[in-house]
Chains A and B, each alone.
Chain A
Amino acid sequence: MGSIITATRKSRARVITQISALAFLNVHLLQLRSVCFPVLNCHSCPLAVFACPIGVLVNFASLRVFPFTTVGILGLVGILGGRLVCGWVCPFGLLQDGLHKIPTKKTSLSPKLAYTKYVLLIGLVFLVPFFWPRLPLTFCHLCPAGTLESAIPWAIMGVSSPWRFSFLLRVAILLALVILAIAVSRSFCRFVCPLGAILSLFNGFSLFRMRSTKHDCTDCDVCARECPVEIHPVHQINSAECVRCLDCTSTGHLALGIR
């Protein structure tokens, strides 16, 4: 009973953190767009405060300049908590969590599809902008977060036309991912997000990481049922897919720690 209460409090704390982060990242009063914040929040959003690290990586690849600051910030965040920001801060994660709560039939996809995000990272974030900087096929041109936060608002404000193939393609991708997020939990984070792909590289050795008390694990699989990214938190502890939402800690057999 105690653990259930703790879990409810924890998930409420996570939602509050995610909503606060969404507000903080989009208060128009601050303008710090020369600094990137390590979550997927499009800097082309009329209200955005910080730059999106994926956008900066794409732009710097097309300029053929090494992004020292962005690599440093991503490295620091990754070394500290791995994908902790995916679970607790990212506004697109919040959207997906909300969409998955819609009561419809749920399904799951092959875990092997998780490699897609690494292909997209290498292809659409590094190679395409580096070798073909003028080709409108970088990750930013297709990013659903960018469509939601930037392309649609700018079209509504009349700055850009909504009757372009590129815009309609973006909206189609966004709709597909929204439907996917309703059916498959955190599908964008697991299969598409290039930022998640970068931060997942740190999950295995980051300072703050999951630890289990395996000796009292009864294999009840409650933690696996709680997990939004459909891994077994005890058997696949600190997996690259873990977004450190801490929902599994409600069982009392897992915790976030330094050791």
Chain B
Amino acid sequence: MKNRGRFRLLFVVLGGLLCAGLVAFSALGVRYSVQGAEKSELFIIERSLTHSIERGPDGRLTMPSVSRDGSGTVEGKPGKQQPKPCPT
């Protein structure tokens, strides 16, 4: 019984470290290429909430409403704007 408790605590510590490691790895190491620029996971989360990022037909992450240089608009599409929450 005592061993079981110790095993559980070890599992909790290792699991906690693994999860904290995932968050740290995401913050420090994970970068995604979006239209040629390196972006963090937090950026992907924020954009995904408004569906302003998607995986294009070529398999790359793209932001349809932003031009490739990230500065302005794509012909015929709305410009870079403050993301609005999606009216699901």
Interface, chain A (partner B; CB < 8 A): 33-36, 42-46, 48, 51, 55-56, 59-60, 62-65, 67-76, 79-80, 133, 140-141, 146, 150-151, 154-155, 159-160, 205-207, 259
Contacts and interface: CB of A to CB of B under 8 A. Distances in A.
Contacts of A159: 84, 87
Given A44-B86, A63-B55, A206-B12, A33 B49 contact: yes
Contacts of A140: 88
Given A55-B49, A63-B55, A151 B87 contact: yes
Contact of B85 (A35, A44, A62, A79): A44
The 10 closest A-B pairs by CB, nearest first: A75-B19, A72-B22, A160-B87, A68-B26, A72-B23, A59-B48, A154-B87, A34-B42, A34-B46, A44-B85
A44 B41 contact: no
Contacts, number: 112
Contacts of B86: 44
A72 B29 CA distance: 14
B66 interface: no
Contacts of A150: 85, 87-88
Contacts of A62: 55
